[in-house]
Every structure is written in structure tokens, then in C-alpha cells.
């Protein structure tokens, strides 16, 4: 636990809110699949004096002086990222995953060019071209979907036909609510056939790739990979773009120019230092154990939901997340399920399911996952226990059931404290 003596004395109002959030995370269970806990080392880097320093440019090519230490920090982060993912080039400056994606689009395409990506309601992400985003007004986004919602199979034949017809400049593979593995080789082959750049957004599964429990798109001929550095990678909130393949040097230069000065100003050096620490943690043998346990825990939870006849989109999971149709199975909306479980000490998020007839703010589904609870040391039996509690709360929905579940969750949380170090 990190203390906040200066905040406590200088701003008691904010101190109460920060410590309140710390208590909430400590006493409940975080099941939002894009959330995790970071080590105290990462948190210390985020609060370090590096936050004082402007460092526009790149190592050895800065616009301001006084960069002898910041250059080394960023170089270490870059080299560790390349080693972790088998990349030939890495840009660690993006402030988030959306920034990383937008920078990649700017580097790889001209306004009006076509990009083929996964439909949001079939598992994609807002930054993959949803009409509500500004980036969709700049580039022409075409979407592909699942062929079979019950198994999660992507319609790769239709994807290929669409690519042949539309001639996209980029084919984007990646997701935010898809519980299966993509067939990276098929997508890479289609990209080569139509002369497109193969780009993977692995924000959700970066840690699983680093830990060897999911396949690495670079091993299947992908050119570009974007990611967040939090989620399963268990680092600070931030983004990254990596390059591999024969065109690595050429694309890498374009990516760097797109990030700075194209999209961002000065990089957040405290954040980059925290990324470097997280990459070092992910290079340790223990991280492989963690990555495999994340998947095993998710599959254990899936077994419980299926045993209770609750429909899971794609019929289960092959990664860290699950998407349950609670409205179709139990008659409760995703919004109400989220609220009810929050009262029981379980945090997850409402989520649209494929071809959902309900509105996004009150959808049919809930999305939950195991990265954070696995960080706390949960194994498959505890994961099943949590799933049983979730099902009981969602089925009964009475105050007594919620109160009992809250006590059980608190006991589990106390028995599995958030670790302070992953060294």
C-alpha cells in the first residue's frame, strides 16, 4: 500500500476520494476485463519526478535539453517492448490505445482510404471505425462480423470477398468484446492477397501474448501491432505501436512521425518509465504462469454459467473475457445486472451482444473477465465460486442474497490481497 501524506494534509477532499477508491478496489472484485492492478513499482514511477520533464522528439533527437536520463528511460522501454513481443521497432509514446490506433491509421493511410475491421457489435472497438467516432469521418471503414454467434467463428470467406471487392489499404484484426482467438494466419494471408497492411489491435490480449497463452500476430506475418499497456499487460494506462516484418524500418519511421509531431506533443516520461517497469515484470517467468491462469480461470467461470443455462456469446471463451446474454437467459438487462452485482461487490460492465435489439446503455449482455482477480491469486476453484455467486445474485435478485454475496466476496477479497510486487 502506498501512503499519501501530502495529499492528506494539503487536499483532504481529494484524499478521501482516492482512499475511498483504494478501499473499493481492495474490498471488492474487479471483473472488468480491461482493468487490472499494477505493482507499487509502476505506481511509484507514475509519481516520479519524470513528470516534470518535457521531452518532445525521440531519444537522441529531442527539442529540449536536459535529456540524458529521459533518453535512457525511453530506450530501455523500447528495447524491453521489442524483446517482449518480437518486434523490430516500438513506439512507446502513445498516451492510450485510441492514440496508438489513430497514429497507426495516420501513418499507414491517406484520408479517404479504406480499412477493413471488426464490427463493434460483433466484438470490435469504437476506434475500429464506429460512426460515432471522428476518425470514421476521415477514413472509409468497412466491417466484418462473426458467421456463427454461438461458436464465434468469423466469416473469413466473406472477409476475403469484401477485401477483394473493397481493396482496403489496411486489414485490422482485434477486439474489445470477443471471447475467442482470431485466426491470424487467415487474416494475414488475405491481407497479402489484396496488397493490404495487416494490423493487429491486441489491447485486450497483449499480456496473454507476452505470457504465451495467446498467439502472437507477428508470428503470422502481421506488419503492425497496437496495444494498450494496462489490461492483461498489467502496466500503467497507456498505449504502444510495434512493427515487425520486412517493411519494419519504413513503417516505423512513418509511425514515429504520426505519433510526434502528428498527433501528440511531449511524451509523458513518468508513464514511459512505468511502462518499462511493467515490461520487465512481464519478461519474468512468473508472468507466463499468470497469463495461462487468466485463461484457465475464465474457462472455469464459463463452465458455471453454462451449467446454469446462461447463454455465452461464442459458446464460451478462449481468452480472458466472457460475454453473457443475461437478458435472453434470465430476463434482466445488462444495466440492471451491472448495478445488482456492483451492490454485491463485483464490478463488471454492461455490454451489447451481437445483433443486440436493446440500446447500448441498457443492453442485453454483461462483459466480465479474469485478469485482475488472477493478479490477486485466484485459481479455478475460487473463480467458480465467484461465478456461482454471480449467478445466484442474478437469479434471485433479493436483498438477502445480495447481502450474503457481498459478505462472501469480502471474505474472498481479504483472503487474496492485491500484491504489491510482481518481481
Convert the pLDDT of each residue in 205-259 to its tens digit: 999 999 999 999 999 999 999 999 999 999 999 999 999 988 888 999 999 999 9
Report yes or no on 53 lying in a domain: yes
Cα dist from 310 to 29, 326, 358, whole Å: 21, 7, 18
CATH number at residue 161: 3.40.640.10
Q: Give the separation between CA 34 and CA 32, rounded to whole angstroms.
A: 6
404 shares its domain with 324? yes
Q: Distance between CA 351 and CA 363 in Å, rounded?
A: 6
Q: How many CA atoms lie within 13 A of 387 on its CB side?
A: 28
Whether residue 24 lies inside any domain: the answer is: no
φ, ψ of residue 73 to 5 degrees: the values are -60, -50
Q: pLDDT, tens digit, for every residue of 132-146?
A: 889 999 999 999 989
Q: Are residues 299 and 272 in the same domain?
A: no
Contact in structure between 392 and 328 (CB atoms under 8 Å): no
Q: pLDDT of 264-290, one tens digit each?
A: 999 999 999 999 999 999 999 999 999
Domain boundary among 248, 282, 316: 282
With beta carbons less than 8 A apart as the criterion, state whether 267 and 58 touch: no
86-137 pLDDT, tens digit each: 999 999 999 999 999 999 999 999 999 999 999 877 888 888 888 888 999 9
CATH number at residue 348: 3.90.1150.10
- For residue 331, count other CB atoms closer than 10 A to its CB: 10
Return the pLDDT at 107.
97
**pTM to 2 decimals?**
0.96
State the pLDDT at residue 269. Answer: 98
Q: How much of the chain exceeds pLDDT 70, in percent?
A: 100
pLDDT score of 122 = 81
Residues 112 and 233 in one domain: yes
Q: Are residues 293 and 255 in the same domain?
A: no
The residues that are catalytic are: 54, 56, 201, 228, 231, 237
Among 225, 259, 282, identify where a domain stops.
282
DSSP string, 1-25: ----HHHHHH-HHHHHHHHHHHHHH
Q: What are phi and psi of 352, to 5 degrees?
A: -65, 150
Q: What's the first-to-final CA gap in the chain, in angstroms?
A: 16
| Same domain (yes/no): 249, 305 | no
Q: Identify whether 4 is part of a domain.
A: no
Half-sphere exposure of 4 (CA within 13 A, CB side): 16
Shared-domain flag, residues 248 and 347: no
241 and 376 assigned to the same domain: no
- Say if 248 falls within a structural domain: yes
**Using CA of residue 48, residue 52, residue 54, residue 59, what is the dihedral sign?**
negative
Both 245 and 311 in one domain: the answer is no
Does residue 243 share a domain with residue 350? no
Same domain, 224 and 179: yes
Per-residue pLDDT, 128: 86
Query: What are the counts of helices (DSSP H) followed by strands (DSSP E) for the chain?
Result: 16, 16
Number of domains in the chain: 2
- How many Cα atoms within 13 Å fall on the side-chain side of residue 406? 14
Alpha-carbon distance values, 238 to 61, 140, 178, 191 (Å): 22, 26, 21, 28
Q: Are residues 127 and 270 in the same domain?
A: yes
CA quadruple 178, 181, 186, 190: dihedral sign: positive
Distance CA 230, CA 248 (A): 25
**Distance between CA atoms of residues 270 and 278, nearest Å:** 13
In terms of phi and psi (left: phi > 0; alpha: psi -120 to 50; beta: otherwise), the region of 85 is alpha
Q: Do residues 267 and 319 both lie within one domain? A: no
**pLDDT at residue number 1:** 65
β-strand pairing of 114-118 with 170-174:
parallel
Domain end position, chosen among 226, 259, 282: 282
In the predicted model, what is the mean pLDDT of residues 45-67? 97
HSE toward the beta carbon, residue 65, CA cutoff 13 A: 0
Residue 220 lies in a domain: yes
**Residue 113 lies in domain:** 43-282
Q: Is residue 13 part of a domain?
A: no
Task: Give dist(CA 31, CA 323) in Å, integer.
Answer: 12
Specify the DSSP class assigned to residue 312: B
In a domain, 3, yes or no: no
Give the closest residue to 91 by CA, choosing from 102, 106, 69, 75: 75
Average pLDDT over residues 3-29: 96
423 pLDDT higher than 80: no
Residue range 368-420, pLDDT digits in tens: 999 999 999 999 999 999 999 999 999 999 999 999 999 999 999 999 999 99
In this prediction, residue 386 carries a pLDDT of 98
Q: In this structure, is residue 7 part of a structural domain?
A: no
What pLDDT sits at residue 196?
97
In the predicted model, what is the mean pLDDT of residues 22-47?
Answer: 97
User: Using an 8 Å Cβ cutoff, are 230 and 36 in contact?
Assistant: yes
**Taking a C-beta distance cutoff of 8 angstroms, is the pair 138, 108 a contact?**
no
Mean pLDDT of the chain: 96
Q: Which of 301, 356, 304 is nearest to 333 (CA)?
A: 356
CA distance 202 to 227: 5
Amino acid at each position: 500500500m502506498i501512503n499519501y501524506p501530502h495529499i492528506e494534509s494539503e487536499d483532504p477532499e481529494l484524499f478521501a476520494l482516492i482512499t475511498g477508491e483504494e478501499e473499493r478496489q481492495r474490498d471488492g472484485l474487479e471483473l472488468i476485463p480491461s482493468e487490472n492492478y499494477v505493482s507499487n513499482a509502476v505506481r511509484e514511477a507514475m509519481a516520479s519526478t519524470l513528470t516534470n520533464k518535457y521531452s518532445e522528439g525521440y531519444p537522441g533527437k529531442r527539442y529540449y535539453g536536459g535529456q540524458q536520463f529521459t533518453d535512457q528511460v525511453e530506450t530501455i522501454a523500447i528495447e524491453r517492448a521489442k524483446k517482449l513481443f518480437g518486434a523490430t521497432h516500438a513506439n512507446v509514446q502513445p498516451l492510450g490505445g485510441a492514440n496508438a490506433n489513430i497514429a497507426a491509421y495516420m501513418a499507414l493511410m491517406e484520408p479517404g482510404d479504406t480499412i477493413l475491421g471488426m464490427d463493434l457489435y460483433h466484438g470490435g472497438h469504437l476506434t475500429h471505425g464506429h460512426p460515432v467516432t471522428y476518425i470514421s469521418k476521415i477514413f472509409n471503414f468497412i466491417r466484418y462480423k462473426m458467421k456463427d454467434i454461438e461458436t464465434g467463428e468469423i466469416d473469413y470467406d466473406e472477409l476475403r470477398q469484401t477485401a477483394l471487392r473493397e481493396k482496403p489499404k489496411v486489414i485490422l484484426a482485434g477486439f474489445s468484446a470477443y471471447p475467442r482467438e482470431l485466426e491470424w494466419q487467415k487474416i494475414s494471408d488475405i491481407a497479402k492477397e489484396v496488397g493490404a497492411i495487416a494490423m493487429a489491435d491486441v489491447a485486450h490480449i497483449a499480456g496473454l501474448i507476452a505470457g504465451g497463452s495467446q498467439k502472437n500476430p507477428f508470428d503470422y506475418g502481421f506488419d503492425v501491432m497496437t496495444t494498450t499497456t494496462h489490461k492483461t499487460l498489467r502496466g500503467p494506462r497507456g498505449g504502444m505501436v510495434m512493427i515487425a516484418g520486412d517493411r519494419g524500418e519504413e513503417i516505423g519511421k512513418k509511425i514515429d512521425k504520426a505519433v510526434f509531431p502528428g498527433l501528440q506533443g511531449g511524451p509523458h516520461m513518468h508513464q514511459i518509465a512505468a511502462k518499462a517497469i511493467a515490461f520487465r515484470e512481464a519478461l519474468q517467468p512468473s508472468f507466463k504462469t499468470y497469463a495461462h491462469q487468466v485463461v484457465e480461470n475464465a474457462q472455469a467461470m464459463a463452465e458455471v454459467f453454462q451449467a446454469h443455462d446462461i447463454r455465452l456469446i461464442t459458446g464460451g471463451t478462449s481468452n480472458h473475457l466472457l460475454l453473457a446474454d443475461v437478458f435472453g437467459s434470465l430476463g434482466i438487462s445488462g444495466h440492471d445486472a451491472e448495478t445488482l452485482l456492483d451492490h454485491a461487490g463485483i464490478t463488471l460492465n454492461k455490454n451489447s451482444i451481437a445483433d443486440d435489439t436493446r440500446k447500448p446503455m441498457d443492453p442485453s449482455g454483461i462483459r466480465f473477465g479474469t485478469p485482475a482477480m488472477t493478479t490477486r491469486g485466484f485459481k479455478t476453484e475460487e473463480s467458480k465460486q465467484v461465478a456461482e455467486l454471480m449467478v445466484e445474485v442474478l437469479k434471485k435478485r433479493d436483498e438477502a442474497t445480495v447481502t450474503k454475496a457481498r459478505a462472501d466476496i469480502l471474505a474472498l477479497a481479504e483472503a487474496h490481497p492485491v500484491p504489491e510486487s510482481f518481481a
